[in-house]
Amino acid sequence: MAIIKSILDTDLYKFTTSYAYSKLFPRAMGAFRFIDRDLLVYPPGFDQLLRQEIQAMEQLRLTEEEASFLEHELPYLPPTYIDFLRGFRFDSREVHIEQTPDGHLHIWAEGLLYRVTLWETPILAIVSELYYRVTDCQPDLAYAERVATEKARTLKEHEVVYSMFGMRRRFSYEMEDRVTALLKEYSGSSLFGTSNVYLAMKHGLKVSGTHPHEWVQFHGAIYGYKMANYMAMEHWIDVYDGDLGTVLTDTYTTDVFLRNFSKKHAMLYTSLRHDSGDPLLFIDKVIHRYQELRVDPLIKYIIFSDSLNVEKAIRIQQACRGRIGVRFGIGTNFSNDVGNGVKPVNIVMKLWRCKMTRKEDWHQCVKLSDVAGKHTGDPAELELAMRTLDIRNIHE
């Protein structure tokens, strides 16, 4: 049975970013590259199994129930975009897969950005689940259910408000589904929602998410690195008119972002998302910037989403108490804590290059995180971006 069984089995930001591309940049092209940070060796023939799963996605269709859910729960997506999804079909020709003789995996997805962006999260979920399947990793279901229940109860006890962000590196769809049900049962109002649109529909949860690094990377490549954050925020406002008011800060480091963060943006965006670097230092920097702009930090939020677990979330909440609002997006620690020595895969897909039309030359896309280990992109382009933004090597 195919791993991805619904077009909605994806993260919310894939639809919101896809629509933003279609509205503002309908002819823009992009290429996403798969990155395995642990350089796993995949079993022989893994590429063929993966290709079969990708091809199986061509059979997916948006059902009327799913369309109705989107219309009701995602009102910021217009009827024209939902009609597009009704007719949308994945095209496996957009995805290029190669497995080297030494077992390493290379994946590219290339095409019109409003289409090709929709490949990212399903491909990651397929690679993760397929890897555990072919290497015969077995979850300890009793352990997984017990720890999920304990985590849910602890978060509720400490009044930690969080969303489930667990799709991309989940153990399996079934595990994410089961854990989501347990979180809903035992967390109560502490569980704000889930980024997985299909599981939100299935379990009666809010759909929760933010916009991704790719949106800022695209703007950096097209408008220049000094204007990237500003233009990305402006265009997001143009598309969503105040909805979806959370913005990522670390595409070109938080320090650069905060220099671009104006009074206008501080008022229009309800929250900033932390995704790399020291969370306590981030809290201080953000509060300082809000105070510089004469914006009360207590009416704003930070969304933390970087490699979180329950204990880390509680510590961060304590550091924010009385200073700034706080919410959390907890992912792999929920969807892939299954015991039996199973280690979550460390995989991502990042926008690697883009262009405004098919006829143009490609522009390189890079990401400069608040920790050097999360930098992605061509080394020469990374160096250019760092020089342009006057960023010293983060290792220093």
The full set of domains in the chain, from first to last, is 12-137+357-366 (no CATH), 141-336 (3.20.140.10)
Asked whether 119 and 109 are in contact (CB, 8 A), the reply is yes
Q: How far apart are the C-alpha atoms of 371 and 385, rounded to whole Å?
A: 15
Read off the pLDDT band of 311 (50, 70, 90).
Answer: very high
Q: Reduce the DSSP state of residue 147 to 3 states and report it.
A: helix
Which whole number is the average pLDDT over 133-142? 97
Round the average pLDDT of the chain to a whole number and report it.
Answer: 96
Q: What is the pLDDT of residue 393?
A: 59
Q: Is the pLDDT reported for residue 360 higher than 90? A: yes
The model's pTM: 0.96
Asked which of 8-12, 122-126, 290-294, 392-396 is least confident by mean pLDDT, the reply is: 392-396
The Cα–Cα gap between 243 and 224 comes to: 26
Q: Is the pLDDT of residue 315 over 70?
A: yes
What is the structure's pLDDT at 290? 98
Interior angle at CA 98, CA 379 and CA 337, nearest 5 = 80
pLDDT at 392: 74
**DSSP state for residue 372 in the 8-state scheme:** G
Mean pLDDT for 20-49 is: 97
pLDDT at 258 over 70: yes
Give per-residue pLDDT as tens, 55-81: 999 999 999 999 999 999 999 999 999
Compute the average pLDDT of residues 150-158.
Answer: 98
| Coil/strand/helix, residue 115 | helix
182 phi and psi, to 5 degrees?
-70, -40
pLDDT (average), residues 301-325: 97
The CA distance from 211 to 190, in Å, is: 22
For the segment 218-222, the average pLDDT, to the nearest whole number, is 98
Grade residue 373 by pLDDT with cuts at 50, 70 and 90.
Answer: confident
pLDDT band for position 395 (cuts 50, 70, 90):
very low
pLDDT of residue 374: 80
Question: How sure is the predictor about 396, in pLDDT bands with cuts at 50, 70 and 90?
Answer: very low
pLDDT digits (tens, 9 = 90+) for 160-202: 999 999 999 999 999 999 999 999 999 999 999 999 999 999 9
